[in-house]
Structure 1
Amino acid sequence: MTAPTVQIGSDNELRRDLRSLVDQICADYPNEYWRELDRTRSYPEEFVAALTKTGALGALVPEEYGGLGLEMGDASVILEQINRNGANAGPVHAQLYTMGAVLRHGNAEQRSTYLPGIADGSIRLQAFAITEPTAGTDTTSLQTTAVRDGDDYIVNGQKVFISRVQHSDLMLLLARTTPLAEVERKSHGLSLFLLDMRTVEGITVRPLETMVNHETNEVFFDNVRVPASALIGEEGRGFTYVLDGMNAERILVSAECVGDGRWFIEKASRYASERVVFGRPIGQNQGIQFPIARAHINIEAADLMRWRAVDLFDAGLPCGAEANMAKLLTSEASWEAANACVQTHGGYGFATEYDVERKFRETRLYQVAPISTNLVLSYVGQHVLEMPRSF
């Protein structure tokens, strides 16, 4: 009698195939490739092109628009496996989820015009312009304006920490179309636009040097004339559309953190088993072994919340709390694993040739972006535990 096939947790044939696909691509872009990019602060053009050819970056685009029509869980596996190989999914992850605003809130013409190109990678939608110098977490206080002028809008303002602008054809832009003094709530009067940066004029991009090779920029808008057809959905409802897409972003970033965490744990475990000091492998010492084991336990536990959020999202059910909690737990667990890995390697953890310090810097980002740990705690305190608003 043949034993029954058992599917446990996130495991299924499609996702195993996706992991294998990513493994094959990453094998052609080993640690040396990412190390050199980090040294020169360059964008992984070749890696992105190789991944694009597989159609993986169109995973969430419906088949009718040329995408793979997969679920969020499937897409999350792609990003997790990139990071688990020691690579960095940051340069490509926005192509997966940013198009959601067009898919769910764009009109038929916008969907048919842009989604096929986004699906096959011929159109890059990697830039999402929300954050401003004086309005980071406080999105509703942003000052970039879009004023109607006939068949166009005139955009003026400044954005900061906008990633991948130099490698994106389109940009999603959140701007105020109704002055703050004229709206009942601060979240009203904000509108979302899909800018074609290949055609508009008046945008200035200034690269920012940061501790992570993430192609991050300041973006200035000086009387940028945008056609009214670039408006996504209804004028004044842009903030709602942005919130609608954030659950997908949090879930996918959670998957990246899981990938990072598993990379750190595998790296630390292997080194601890091979490195001999005082005549014995250092991993034989509980002072080395236990922090790695605890980090592994916390990654696996955090991953369960990631899959809980995935299951709710793919079922079309509310998942804001779960997506936020998954992002917090996985980002903290990956950071714990990063610290354990550095400590295990000692001085070599700081040597670029071991790649630990590079991944250490990369995974630290996710406690700050795309949402800070404190804002997740505020969300849970207010919306889940029903305590008074803290800000």
Structure 2
Amino acid sequence: MATIDVEKTETAEEAKANEVLILDMLDRFLRTEVKPYVHALEAADEYPHEIVEKMKDMGLFGCLIAQEYGGLGLSTSTYAKIVDRISAVWMSVSGIINSHLIMAMTVQRNGTAEQKSTYLPRMATGELRGGIGLTEPDCGTDLQAIRTVARREGDEYVVNGSKTWITNSLHGNVLALLVKTDPKAEPRHKGMTLLLVEKGPGFEVSRKLEKLGYKGIDTCELTFTDFRVPVSQVIGGEEGRGLKQILGGLELGRINVAARGVGLAQAALDESVSYSQQRKTFGKPICEHQAIALKLGEMATRVQAARLLTEAAAVAYDRGERCDMEAGMAKYFATEAALENSIEAMRIHGAYGYSKEFNVERLYRDAPLLCIGEGTNEMQRIIIAKNLIARNPV
């Protein structure tokens, strides 16, 4: 398996040429190492161990990590294109690197010098692989309501609580864990801290969650019972900054989910364009019937609009700008596009779209998650509106 090797580029032309090489290599990998195995792995809800090992060899677990720490140092724009292409083949694979990179970039942006030098090189190779521990059974969007508590005892924290819907928690080995170090703090966010934790006594994977779609990737419930974490594992070395640190990571997460939406919407379109030229009714391919042509036109437009919104958000993120509005727009539109295109693809395929023998059925099951994950689309619209008002005061 070839390894992606990225040199520092000085010009936009060199960066673009480098991106083309990376995406071409990725396409070959997806075509030969992923696509032939998706159907069987997805049907069995089996973790793709061999695919993950090859992704490690390619450097994909370090694609956003800076080169000084052994990563590829790619732009968010290039990363979004990588996620787009992976998701068009099998969305679950993109999730394996996404949660991991949110964790890694939180360390890169906020960690101490020692935390960066200790953890980022191992995260870049995939030796350390994991995600973020935020959601709890009674707490999703309202992160300030979390109940997992880390009580300090000398040079350690003792963590008690539970998390749910945590990606990469069964086969991964490290998490950025959001906890309450001061449950009585007002405002609540001042008592929240982010810990970088590795598995150990008191850290239990309670169960793997069974899902409608998004199969093959481990999504689990976690229980922490007197789980001890060294004080040195506070990301950034200072208590009370956890919520702010992780919210910055969620901007990247929403760009990733938007890119997944683009990929899935593109896959639904590609399947429909191909099938509509092969399937004939009343003596002609169904693509020549106006009802089908209208659907294809709408689907193609959704894909292109979603891709442009996602690119705009990624570029803003790369510039270091606050981009929760742009990321929210991209996430909202692209994921709705994926959902709508998956439904239209099923309608175009008719009964075959309802069969597990065709990819369309999987796309139809995977798409709804995108409208829920990384902040519901209802929440995205509220974020967009609040930013709109804040940026345009009267």
CA-CA distance at 1:303 after TM superposition: 1.5
| C-alpha separation in 1, matches of 2:54 and 2:205 | 29
Match of 2:9 in 1: none
Checking the alignment, whether the CA contact within 8 Å between 2:102 and 2:132 is kept in structure 1 is no
Match of 1:187 among 189, 194, 213: 189
2: CA distance between counterparts of 1:169 and 1:350? 37
User: Deviations 1:134-176 (Å, cap 9, x if unpaired)?
Assistant: 1111110110100001110010011111112111110110010
CA contact (8 A) 2:342 2:364 kept: yes
- The CA distance in 1 between the partners of 2:377 and 2:72, in whole Å, is 33
**What is the CA–CA distance in structure 1 between the aligned matches of 2:229 and 2:90, rounded to whole Å?**
40
Partner of 2:222 in structure 1?
Answer: 219
What is the distance in 2 between the residues matched to 1:205 and 1:25? 34
Query: Over residues 191-238 of structure 1, what are the superposed CA-to-partner deviations in whole Å (9 max), with x where a residue is unaligned?
Result: 0001011x4434243111111213211111111111111111210110
> What is the aligned counterpart of 1:151 among 141, 155, 164?
155
2:20 is the counterpart of 1:16: yes
Which residue is 1:348 aligned to? 352
AA paired with 1:177? T
Residues 203 and 224 in structure 1, CA contact (< 8 A), matched pair in contact too: no
In structure 1, C-alpha distance between the alignment counterparts of 2:264 and 2:21, rounded to whole Å: 20
1:60/1:71 contact within 8 Å kept: yes
The residue that corresponds to 1:305 in the other structure is 309
Whether the 8 Å CA contact 1:43–1:91 is kept in 2: the answer is no
Equivalent residue number for residue 209 of structure 2:
208
| Aligned counterpart for 1:107 among listed residues 112, 115, 122 | 112
The answer to whether the Cα contact below 8 Å between 1:207 and 1:218 also exists between their aligned partners in 2 is yes
**Aligned match of 2:254:** 250
Q: 1:191 and 1:326 mapped to 2: Cα distance?
A: 29
Structure 1 residues 200 and 78: alpha-carbon distance in aligned structure 2, compared to 1, 3 A threshold: farther
State the shift of 1:30 in Å: 4.7
Aligned residues: 375
1:57-72 correspondence runs (5 A)? 57-72=61-76
- Structure 1 counterpart of 2:343, from 331, 334, 339: 339
Look up the SS of the partner of 1:167 in the other structure.
Answer: coil
Question: Residues 60 and 97 of structure 1 are in contact (CA less than 8 Å); yes or no, is this contact kept in structure 2?
Answer: no
Instruction: Answer 1 or 2: which has greater helix percent.
Output: 2
Q: Secondary structure at the match of 2:170?
A: helix
Q: Check whether the contact 2:100–2:132 (CA below 8 A) recurs between aligned residues.
A: no
After the TM superposition, which of the residue ranges 320-329 and 303-312 deviates more from structure 2? 303-312
CA distance, structure 1, for counterparts of residue 293 and residue 189 of structure 2: 49
Answer whether contact 2:34 2:51 (CA < 8 A) is retained: no
- Which residue of the partner structure matches residue 6 of structure 2? none
Per-residue deviation, 1:84:
2.2
Q: Aligned partner of 1:203: which letter?
A: E
The 8 Å contact of residues 23 and 85 in structure 1, kept in 2 or not, is answered as: no
CA gap 1:30/1:117 in 2 versus in 1, 3 angstroms: closer
Distance 1:119 1:128 in 2: 16
Shift in Å, 1:87: 5.3
Map of 2:198 onto structure 1 = 196
Q: 2:321 & 2:30 partners in 1: Cα distance? A: 34
- TM-score with structure 1 length normalisation? 0.92
SS at match of 1:183: coil
The 4+ residue runs of structure 1 with deviation greater than 6 A are none
Task: Check whether the contact 1:261–1:335 (CA below 8 A) recurs between aligned residues.
Answer: yes
Between 1:64-73 and 1:18-27, the stretch displaced more is 18-27
**TM-aligned CA distance change 1:164 to 1:101, over 3 Å:** same
**Counterparts in 2 of 1:167 and 1:185: CA distance versus 1, 3 Å:** same
Q: Which residue of 2 aligns with 1:133?
A: 137
For 2:376 and 2:91, the matched residues in 1 are separated by 23
Cα distance change on mapping 1:18 and 1:360 into 2, 3 Å: farther
Between 1:106-115 and 1:209-218, the stretch displaced more is: 209-218
User: Gaps spanning 5+ residues in structure 1: where?
Assistant: 1-6
Structure 2: gaps spanning 5 or more residues:
1-11
Q: 1:324 to 1:110 in 2, by over 3 A?
A: same
- Inter-CA distance 133–344: structure 2 relative to 1 (3 Å threshold): same
How far the C-alpha of 1:98 sits from its partner, in A, is: 2.0
Contact 2:132 2:176 in 1 (8 A): yes
Residue identity in the other structure for 1:206: R
Checking the alignment, whether the CA contact within 8 Å between 1:25 and 1:51 is kept in structure 2 is: no
Measured on the aligned residues, the alpha-carbon RMSD in Å equals 1.8
Q: Distance in 1 between matches of 2:225 and 2:321?
A: 41
Q: Is residue 60–residue 97 contact of structure 2 (8 Å, CA) maintained in 1? A: no
